[in-house]
Structure 1
Amino acid sequence: MVAVASVGLLSGCAGGSSAAAGSKDTTLQLGWIANVENMGPYTALDSGYFKDRGVDVAVAPGGPSVTVEPMVVSGKALVGLTSADIAAKAILAGAPLKIVAATLQTNPTSVMSLANAPVNTLKDLEGKRLCIQTSGLETMKTVLKANKIDLGKVKFVTADFDPSPLVTGQCDAFTSFLNNQPITLAAQGVKTKVFPLSDYGYNVVADALVVSDKTLADPKKRAAVVKIISALAEGWRKALDNTDTATQLIVDKYGKNQHLDLKQQTLGAKTYLDLVQTDETKHNGLLSISDATVKANIATLNLLGTGITADQLFDTSLIADAKPVR
């Protein structure tokens, strides 16, 4: 998941509706709540794409109290959505898992500033105050060091995920997500300047599909995962082709108990056009993981000190079998 709190696009409490019978053998465990971050899975569910492929999938919403990896390892979920860095840490700690597909090809972690006082590059952070969440501080420092930014010239200001400190002048830039805080402020009429850390070598796929090694070794379960990948890709294709309809589906049905703001969700849904689809997915299919993506992710994770190998983290053979839509 791309987990943040306090704003509507990627926040809320655990809950929501799975709206599927299914069983633990075919549960898709989301990392976050039923909002537009998960419009692909819910569109696939609502459109019958899982059943069309012969799998009765239960889509289980996540939230701040949900940790995906243990649920997949224990068999409570067949597939879970997580991020490459979190999965890597779990694997190195002994969890028998592999990433088999990836929703967000571009990581949405970004630096946001006000449009009337823009911070345009990482270098521009020197001499500035950067609001940042404690959980992301070491990652940010590593990225800054890798790009030869003088850490002594950047003042780090501890903040949560609420972007109001930027608006009130408590900092000059804010660590955000492309599909979150900028959208929150845009809905309030506040214009911002945003650039992703992926422009500076931070390449970590998110909302990645993770399964257990036991599942991969079981022909029947592996086949079910292949079908789920295929159905999810088709769901994302439909959602991306008409984000307004997908947003309405989430707000009115699957995320109804989250009391989501339609305007904010509609704006946020459009950001996924560039996060989910890239030149590589246009060639290989949505949710695919190319050799270049694997290489970039391993390089980033090693930069962060993870020390994991491609074979430990990824199994891209299921993508080839799923033949996902582009």
Structure 2
Amino acid sequence: MRSRAYALFAALMLAPVVVSAPALAADKISLRLPWLLNVQSAGYVMAREKGFYADAGLDVDIMPGGPNLNSTALVASGANTFGTNDVGQILLGDANGMDLVMVAACFQRHPAGVVSLEKSDIKKPADLVGKTLAYNEGGPWALTKAMLAKAGVPLEKIKLVVSPSDQLLVNGSVDAKTGFVINEAVALDLQGHKTSTLLPSDFGVSTYAEVIFAARRTVDGNPDLVKRFVAATQKGYDYAYAHKDEAVKIIVGLNNQLDPVQQAKQMELQESFVYTDFSRARGACAFDGAVIGETEKTLREFGDLKSAVDVSKTYSTEFIPPK
């Protein structure tokens, strides 16, 4: 008995000791949206909900934007790690010394354009001649002016009214208005007002929306973090649009102010903005730097960009996963 006990003791002493390494804590970061949470942000929400961010070692807080929450300023200040917005807003931020870098562009076509009621029979830019167009300053108006210029339609031949109101369109006070076709047109359609839309992207004005950006200090100082975030976000976009019903249900659950029917229709419409021949070939959220350069020229001519920006310093395509 004593010899067997000694042998067992010796065996235990000689056995390798296995020590479990403590799990590495996920990098806690934040993403600031350009507006209130809705299906426009489905890609990020599903990346979090389906564990793609967690698998990449990221703990992501998705935070809404709003009228007094500017994603460019919040990222530049360090309050948020990443932000989303359109190219124009990021270029304007860089022109004002924010030093932001675009690393992905998830809406290949910009949803800003002109909304009209179908009965107005406005199907091309020239159809706005002699009509009344409501607008308010901002991205949709700059892109609309660029579209009209490319189509050879002088602004002097259109009656202009400054207003963001959809009601003016409904009551016939105006024939058309600038806005975002993925939500405003859908809302009007659901109210029984059949709409038509003009998209600058269909008439030679190219730019991106839902662009992911970070401060240069993040891009240069922690490129691995940026790479992991972009790759996981790409998975989130692909999952969201392959499971649209699930994505809508989850997002409506996160924001009970949303109309699930409208959100489902918006999600369906958005797919053609996210997936084009380019992004299907290169992967969701891939982008071309030439489009950034084109946007810079558009904003200098028709928008609020008062001086040239060195576009080459405003973006990096190196974080998009190879396909």
Could you tell me the TM-score, scaled by structure 2's length? 0.85
Q: 2:247 is matched with which residue?
A: 246
SS of 1:318's equivalent in the other structure is: coil
- Matches of 1:249 and 1:268, distance apart in 2: 15
Match of 1:263 among 224, 236, 261: 261
Conservation of the 8 A alpha-carbon contact between 2:113 and 2:198: yes
Which one-letter code corresponds to 2:228 in the other structure?
A: K
Report the equivalent of 1:61. 64
SS state at 2:35 partner: coil
The corresponding residue for 2:73 is 70
1:176-191 residue pairs with structure 2 within 5 A?
176-191=179-194
Q: Which residue of 1 is the match for residue 285 of structure 2?
A: 287
Distance 2:97 2:179 in 1: 31
2: distance between equivalents of 1:100 and 1:176? 26
Match of 1:153 in 2: 157
Contact 1:40–1:236 (8 Å) recurs in 2: yes
The AA in structure 1 aligned to 2:277 is D
SS at match of 1:57: strand
How far apart, CA to CA, are the structure 2 residues paired with 1:204 and 1:148? Answer: 20
> TM-score, structure 1 length as denominator?
0.84
Deviations 1:255-290 (A, max 9, x none): 23xx11111111111111011111111011001112
Against the structure 1 CA distance between its residues 274 and 119, is the aligned structure 2 distance closer, same or farther, given a 3 Å change threshold? same
1:164-217 per-residue CA deviation (whole Å, 9 max, x = no partner) reads 211211111121212111100111122111120112233221111111111122
- Equivalent-residue separation in structure 1 for 2:78 and 2:137 (angstroms): 32
1:238 aligned partner, one-letter code:
Y
What is the match of residue 117 of structure 1? 120
* Structure 2 residue 233 is the aligned partner of structure 1 residue 232: yes
1:44 maps to 47
Q: Which amino acid in structure 1 is aligned with residue 125 of structure 2? A: L
Whether 1:94 aligns to 2:97 is: yes
After TM superposition, list the pairs within 5 Å mapping 1:309-324 onto structure 2. 309-319=310-320, 322-323=321-322
The code of the aligned residue for 1:250 comes to I
Equivalents in 2 of 1:129, 1:250: separation in Å? 37
The one-letter code matched in structure 2 to 1:201 is G
Q: Cα distance 1:269–1:137, how it changes in 2: closer, same or farther (>3 A)?
A: closer
Query: SS where residue 120 of structure 2 aligns?
Result: coil
> How far, CA to CA, are the matches of 2:288 and 2:147 in structure 1?
23
In 2, are the aligned partners of 1:91 and 1:312 still within 8 Å (CA)?
no
- Percent sequence identity is 28
Aligned CA-pair RMSD: 2.0
Q: Residue 18 of structure 2 corresponds to which residue in structure 1?
A: none
SS class of match (2:122): coil
Alignment: residue pair count: 295
Q: Secondary structure at the match of 2:226?
A: helix
CA contact (8 A) 2:143 2:205 kept: no
State the alpha-carbon separation in 1 of the partners of residues 144 and 150 from structure 2.
Answer: 10
For 2:285, give the aligned amino acid.
L
Instruction: State the shift of 1:112 in Å.
Output: 1.7
- For residues 83-131 of structure 1, what are the alpha-carbon distances to aligned partners after superposition, in whole Å with 9 as ceiling and x for unaligned? 1111111101111111110111100111122112220111111111111
How far apart, in 1, do the equivalents of 2:115 and 2:55 lie?
42
Where does the alignment leave 5 or more consecutive residues of structure 2 unmatched? 1-24
Deviation at 1:233, TM superposition (A): 1.0
Higher deviation after alignment, 301-310 or 276-285 = 301-310
1:261 maps to amino acid: D
Larger Rg, first or second structure (1 or 2): 2
